[in-house]
Each structure stands twice: as structure tokens, then as C-alpha cells.
């Protein structure tokens, strides 16, 4: 076979063997698979090494890339130590892996068997091996989870880092928390401020965060305090001597390239045990804080009132990058202000900003019309498209030539002209050149697509923007206005200095549709 990739991945057993000093696993596996490749006259063009151990595709970037390449028919086969090295996660992921190989007619080669998933027996055998690997993984995970739960029930803390206010102490098999000499008093201070006996002296989470920042205190990660980070502390029962586990669940996305979704479990599903550590606040103070927190909760404004800001998600702060948010002030005019409370960007009346955006949008459209009226060379765009098509054909021919060179490499190996090292070096060099050429093809395709789109946009953008402006000025529905603005603007950047007043501010519009000179 002329196009074969090697995929290497460590298992938990490999990690345990390495800890016992039995040598680096991937190096041993690579040596063994190269020996198999030589014996079977396989031409290795790519070696992918997964440096992490994990059953989920989400955490295996090399496997994600390999599947994309397999789907693109880049390989005749993939060489692995065993079937379960490809994956032994859930049924959905295993099915995705096997189906990708089957659809692309890519074989799976191990030292003891070659699997052709087009063959009914091989397909059934591979599915059986995947099933057994999944069962083995479940048993391992069950044991690991059981060990964690028993450790928590004994009062140990198994988190990777301590919560703010504590340090981790280890003694033999015990792993528990001890108060941090500098942070522990801050935790107590936060609870006392939030649940002060005198209602008039109580501080909200934002004010507590501001006070701590002014006093020079920083979070565990040396960042400024925010209302959200204060809430994390107030809600955490670790400060009354509890250790909790399984408060959240992680559900894998149906798209394996996306992150898993985090969801809070019902309290009855939590594992809650008395910890070995000393509490930093009394239970009375902690529960008082929880009661205050419950009373302060309200349904988010937009869920009750709907969208009130026609530019929601569009206007960004030029100083910190945060969104500019709509703030009504009773009988006074609503304002736009930066969501980041520490930002120095000055707020402005909403109607001033709205008028400025529509005015600048009309100005931009007028200039665009002027540019289009003076641009009377339609053949230029056509020529540009033709040039890009020629470049694309040239790159395609280059790929074909590289494929021919790859076949010659295989012949040289069989005839003994190249030794194994020279063969692999040349194969890697050829693979690199192919990667560069394929990347150039992708770029050329994208440039060609954009050029065609740009030619079309020259005719479409003017009526589109005119229609949006007309409908925006006639509409009283903020949600409809928001939809209209987002159809033509990527974003608007807003900046206002301390000395500026009223409608003195700067805005920069970023239209969504391409202009004539975009690349």
C-alpha cells in the first residue's frame, strides 16, 4: 500500500508501565509498527502520536485530524498496535470511527490482522473488539470512580487545586485541606460583609469585589475580583467543612469536535461528606448568606422583557473588548455602557449612539455607491477569477506529481535502493510538501470562492443595505431591528474618553458583506 499512516496512543496500562520504569511506550510502539510496515511493504507517509491518554475524541486532537484525513481518502490504511488504540469511548464515538474508515474504504492494520470494513466478517469482528474494549473501559472507570467516592466519603479533598482560602496537605493516602494563612481571613471577611447583621452595612457581590480589589487582594489565579468570583465563594460549602463531588455533570456533544456541556445536578445526586479540614466560617453565617442570596435572585431582564437593545451583541468596547450593554434609567434617557465595571470607557445616551450608527451607515453606503459608480472595469474581476482558477489547476497538477513520486519511493524501498531511515525521511519530506500543497489548494479554493462572492456582492450590497436602513427606521420592534443590523454589520467599536461630553465619541463600523478591495 502506497499511502499508510501510523497512529500511536498511550493507554492507562502504558502509563502505569512507564511509572514502573519499563520505558517510553510510544517509542517502543513506533519501532514495532515500523518493523511491521517494512515486513508488509507499507509506505508510511504520516506518523501521528497522541501524547495524551483519554477515551473521548474531544481530548485527542491527533485522532480528530486523522479522521478528517481518512474521510478525505488520504490513506489506503492506518497502522495501529491494536483496534482499541483508535478509540474505546462511547458507542457513538466508536461508531463514528468505524464508519469513517468504512465509508472511505480505508483499512485498519494491526500486527496480527488487517481489517477491511467492506468485508462483512471483518466489520463484525471489529465491532466485537470495539464492544469488548468499551466494556473494559467501563470497568476501569467504575473502579476509578469508586475509589474517588470512597476517598471523598472519608473526608479527603481530591480536587486538582484548593479552593480560595485553603492549601492542600498530603499525609500518606490522606489528602485534605488546611487554612491558607493569608487567604482564609479574606474568605471570612467576604461572608461577614455579605451577611452583616446590620442590613444597612451589607455589601453586594460587586461592592465586595471592588473593596477587595482596592485593598490589593487578588483571586487564586492572581486576577481581579468580580461579582461572579465572589458568588463562587459564597455558594461553596467547603467553607463549613464539607467536601462535595458530582455537583455537575458533563454531557458529550453530538459533535465530537465541540466541548462537552456542563450542567448542575440535583442536590440529591451530589456526594456530600464531612471533610477532614477545618471550616473557615460558621454554619450559621454560611446558611444566612444562602438565604440572602435566594432573596436577591431575579429572572434575567431579557427573559422577562425581551430584547430592548437593537444593537445587542454588536457594539463592542474599544478599550477592553467587552460588549456595550443597554441600561435604562427610569424617567431619564437610557445609556450604553461597558459591561466591564473596571473599564474606563465612558457611557453615552443610547439615542446618541443609535443616531450616530445609522448616520455613519448611510455615509458608508454613499461612499460605496460612489466607488461602484467609478468602478467600470467588470473584466478585472473576471480576470482575477480566471487567474485563480489557473493557479488552482497548477496546484492540482503538483499534487498528482507528488503522488507519482510517492509510488516511486515505494518501488525504491522494495528494490533496496533506500534503507528504512532514508525511506522514512523521504516519505516525511514528501508528506510535508503534500501538506503545503494541499493547504495552498484550500487557500486557493477559498480565495476563488471569495472572489466569486465579491463579484456577486458588488451587485447585491447596495440594495441590501438600503433596505435594512429603510426597515430599521420604520420599525419599533427592537428584536427586529437587532436582526436587521446583524445582517449587515459584524460589529461596531465604541470609544469615549473622560473629557468627551454628550454625543462626542468615536465609533467604527465593520460591515459584514465584503467590499471591492477586501482580500
> Which tens digit of pLDDT belongs to each residue from 294-308?
876 544 555 445 677
Dihedral of alpha carbons 511, 514, 518, 519, sign: positive
Q: Quote the cell numbers at residue 149.
A: 467516592
Quote the pLDDT of residue 517: 45
Quote the pLDDT of residue 145: 63
Instruction: From 32, 7, 208, 223, select the one nearest 106 (Cα to Cα).
Output: 7
Instruction: From 97, 108, 109, select the one nearest 71 (Cα to Cα).
Output: 97
Average the pLDDT over each of 196-210, 308-322, 373-387 and give the range with the smallest value: 373-387
Average the pLDDT over each of 121-125, 363-367, 383-387, 478-482 and give the range with the smallest value: 121-125
Average the pLDDT over each of 68-72, 131-135, 214-218, 248-252 and give the range with the smallest value: 131-135
Residue bearing the bigger pLDDT, 229 or 432: 229
Quote the pLDDT of residue 257: 44
Dihedral of alpha carbons 56, 58, 61, 63, sign: positive
Work out the average pLDDT over 12-25: 56
Q: Residue 202, exposed/middle/buried by CB under 10 A (0-12, 13-18, 19+)? A: middle
Q: Is the pLDDT of residue 190 over 90?
A: yes
Work out the average pLDDT over 214-232: 90
Quote the pLDDT of residue 448: 83
Work out the average pLDDT over 232-256: 78
Q: Is the pLDDT of residue 363 over 70?
A: yes
Q: What is the rounded distance in angstroms from the CA atom of residue 307 to the CA atom of residue 484?
A: 13
Share of the chain above pLDDT 90, in %: 27
Q: What is the rounded distance in angstroms from the CA atom of residue 391 to the CA atom of residue 444?
A: 7
Report residue 252's pLDDT band, with 50, 70 and 90 as the boundaries.
Answer: low
Is residue 45 helix, strand or coil?
strand
| Residue range 4-153 in CATH 3.40.50.1220 | no
Average the pLDDT over each of 112-126, 205-219, 344-358 and give the range with the smallest value: 112-126
Quote the pLDDT of residue 245: 80
| 4-153 matches 166-296 in fold | no
Work out the average pLDDT over 67-91: 84
Report residue 519's pLDDT band, with 50, 70 and 90 as the boundaries.
Answer: very low
Q: Quote the cell numbers at residue 284.
A: 450559621
Using an 8 Å Cβ cutoff, are 435 and 72 in contact?
no
Quote the pLDDT of residue 288: 93
Mind listing the pLDDT tens digit for each residue in 26-77? 888 888 888 888 788 788 888 898 877 666 777 788 989 999 999 999 899 9
Strands, E, within 246-312: which ranges? 248-251, 261-264, 271-274
Per the DSSP assignment, residues forming a β-bridge with 109 are 79, 114
Dihedral of alpha carbons 417, 422, 426, 431, sign: positive
Q: How far apart are the two ends of the chain, measured CA to CA in Å?
A: 41
Instruction: From 207, 165, 163, select the one nearest 187 (Cα to Cα).
Output: 165
Q: Which of 143-152, 445-454, 499-508 has the largest mean confidence?
A: 499-508
Using an 8 Å Cβ cutoff, are 47 and 62 in contact?
no
Using an 8 Å Cβ cutoff, are 349 and 333 in contact?
yes
Mind listing the pLDDT tens digit for each residue in 257-311? 445 566 777 878 788 889 999 999 999 999 999 998 887 654 455 544 567 788 9
Helix 420-474 vs helix 25-39: angle between axes, to the nearest 10 degrees? 110
Quote the pLDDT of residue 91: 67
Work out the average pLDDT over 485-503: 91
Q: Is the pLDDT of residue 420 over 80?
A: no
Work out the average pLDDT over 194-216: 88
Quote the pLDDT of residue 246: 73
Q: What is the rounded distance in angstroms from the CA atom of residue 40 to the CA atom of residue 370?
A: 67
> Hey, what CATH class is 166-296 in?
alpha beta
Average pLDDT along the chain = 80
Report residue 122's pLDDT band, with 50, 70 and 90 as the boundaries.
Answer: low
Q: What is the rounded distance in angstroms from the CA atom of residue 353 to the CA atom of residue 337?
A: 11
Per the DSSP assignment, residues forming a β-bridge with 250 are 262
Quote the pLDDT of residue 436: 87
Sorted by where each begins, the domain ranges of the chain are 4-153, 166-296
Query: Within 13 A of 176's CA, how many CA atoms are on the CB side?
Result: 19
315-317 sheet: strands from edge to edge: 315-317, 489-495, 506-511
Q: Is the pLDDT of residue 471 over 70?
A: yes
Q: What is the rounded distance in angstroms from the CA atom of residue 275 to the CA atom of residue 155?
A: 4
Quote the pLDDT of residue 281: 94
Work out the average pLDDT over 369-376: 59
Using an 8 Å Cβ cutoff, are 324 and 316 in contact?
yes
Work out the average pLDDT over 335-351: 90
Is residue 272 helix, strand or coil?
strand
Q: Is the pLDDT of residue 253 over 60?
A: no
Residue bearing the bigger pLDDT, 405 or 243: 243
Q: What is the CA radius of gyration of the chain?
A: 31
Quote the pLDDT of residue 385: 76
Quote the pLDDT of residue 30: 86
Alpha helices in 76-214 (DSSP H): 91-104, 120-153, 184-194, 205-214
Q: What is the rounded distance in angstroms from the CA atom of residue 10 to the CA atom of residue 2?
A: 26
Quote the pLDDT of residue 54: 61
Q: Quote the cell numbers at residue 46.
A: 504520516
Is residue 359 helix, strand or coil?
helix
Amino acid at each position: 500500500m502506497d499511502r499508510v499512516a501510523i497512529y500511536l496512543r498511550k493507554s492507562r496500562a502504558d502509563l502505569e508501565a512507564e511509572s514502573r520504569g519499563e520505558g517510553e511506550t510510544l517509542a517502543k510502539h513506533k519501532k514495532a509498527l515500523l518493523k511491521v510496515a517494512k515486513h508488509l511493504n507499507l509506505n508510511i507517509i504520516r506518523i501521528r502520536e497522541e501524547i495524551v491518554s483519554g477515551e473521548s475524541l474531544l481530548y485527542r486532537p491527533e485522532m480528530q485530524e486523522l479522521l478528517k484525513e481518512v474521510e478525505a481518502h488520504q490513506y489506503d490504511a492506518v497502522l495501529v498496535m491494536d483496534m482499541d488504540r483508535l478509540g474505546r469511548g462511547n458507542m457513538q464515538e466508536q461508531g463514528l470511527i468505524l464508519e469513517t474508515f468504512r465509508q472511505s474504504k480505508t483499512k485498519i492494520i494491526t500486527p496480527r490482522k488487517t481489517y477491511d470494513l467492506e468485508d462483512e466478517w471483518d466489520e463484525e469482528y471489529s465491532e466485537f473488539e470495539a464492544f469488548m474494549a468499551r466494556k473494559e473501559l467501563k470497568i476501569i472507570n467504575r473502579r476509578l470512580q469508586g475509589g474517588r467516592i470512597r476517598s471523598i466519603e472519608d473526608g479527603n479533598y481530591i480536587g486538582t487545586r484548593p479552593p480560595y482560602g485553603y492549601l492542600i496537605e498530603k499525609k500518606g493516602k490522606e489528602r485534605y485541606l488546611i487554612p491558607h494563612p493569608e487567604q482564609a481571613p479574606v474568605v471570612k471577611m467576604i461572608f461577614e460583609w455579605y451577611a452583616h447583621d446590620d442590613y444597612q452595612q451589607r455589601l453586594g457581590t460587586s461592592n465586595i469585589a471592588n473593596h477587595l480589589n482596592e485593598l490589593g487582594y487578588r483571586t487564586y489565579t492572581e486576577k481581579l475580583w468580580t461579582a461572579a468570583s465572589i458568588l463562587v465563594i459564597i455558594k461553596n460549602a467547603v467553607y463549613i467543612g464539607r467536601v462535595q463531588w458530582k455537583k455537575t455533570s458533563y454531557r458529550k456533544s453530538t459533535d465530537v469536535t465541540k466541548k462537552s456541556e456542563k450542567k448542575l445536578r440535583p442536590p440529591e445526586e451530589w456526594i456530600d461528606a464531612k471533610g477532614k479540614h477545618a471550616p473557615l466560617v460558621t454554619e450559621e453565617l454560611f446558611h444566612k448568606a444562602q438565604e440572602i442570596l435566594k432573596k436577591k435572585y431575579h429572572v434575567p431582564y431579557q427573559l422577562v422583557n425581551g430584547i430592548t437593545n437593537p444593537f445587542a451583541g454588536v457594539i463592542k468596547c474599544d478599550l477592553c473588548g467587552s460588549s456595550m450593554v443597554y441600561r435604562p434609567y427610569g424617567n431619564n434617557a437610557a445609556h450604553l455602557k461597558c459591561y466591564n465595571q473596571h473599564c474606563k470607557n465612558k457611557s453615552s445616551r443610547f439615542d446618541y449612539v443609535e443616531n450616530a450608527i445609522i448616520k455613519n451607515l448611510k455615509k458608508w453606503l454613499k461612499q460605496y455607491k460612489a466607488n461602484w459608480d467609478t468602478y467600470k472595469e467588470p473584466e478585472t474581476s473576471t480576470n482575477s477569477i480566471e487567474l485563480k482558477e489557473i493557479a488552482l489547476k497548477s496546484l492540482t497538477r503538483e499534487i498528482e506529481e507528488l503522488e507519482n513520486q510517492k509510488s516511486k519511493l515505494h518501488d525504491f524501498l522494495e528494490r533496496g535502493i533506500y534503507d528504512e531511515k532514508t525511506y522514512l525521511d523521504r516519505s516525511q519530506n514528501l508528506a510535508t510538501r503534500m501538506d503545503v500543497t494541499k493547504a495552498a489548494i484550500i487557500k486557493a479554493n477559498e480565495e476563488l470562492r471569495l472572489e466569486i462572492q465579491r463579484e456577486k456582492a458588488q451587485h447585491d450590497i447596495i440594495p441590501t443595505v438600503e433596505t435594512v436602513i429603510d426597515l430599521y427606521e420604520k420599525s419599533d420592534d427592537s428584536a427586529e431591528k437587532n436582526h436587521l443590523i446583524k445582517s449587515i454589520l459584524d460589529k461596531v467599536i465604541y470609544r469615549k474618553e473622560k473629557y468627551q461630553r454628550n454625543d462626542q465619541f468615536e465609533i467604527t463600523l465593520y460591515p459584514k458583506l465584503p467590499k471591492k478591495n477586501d482580500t
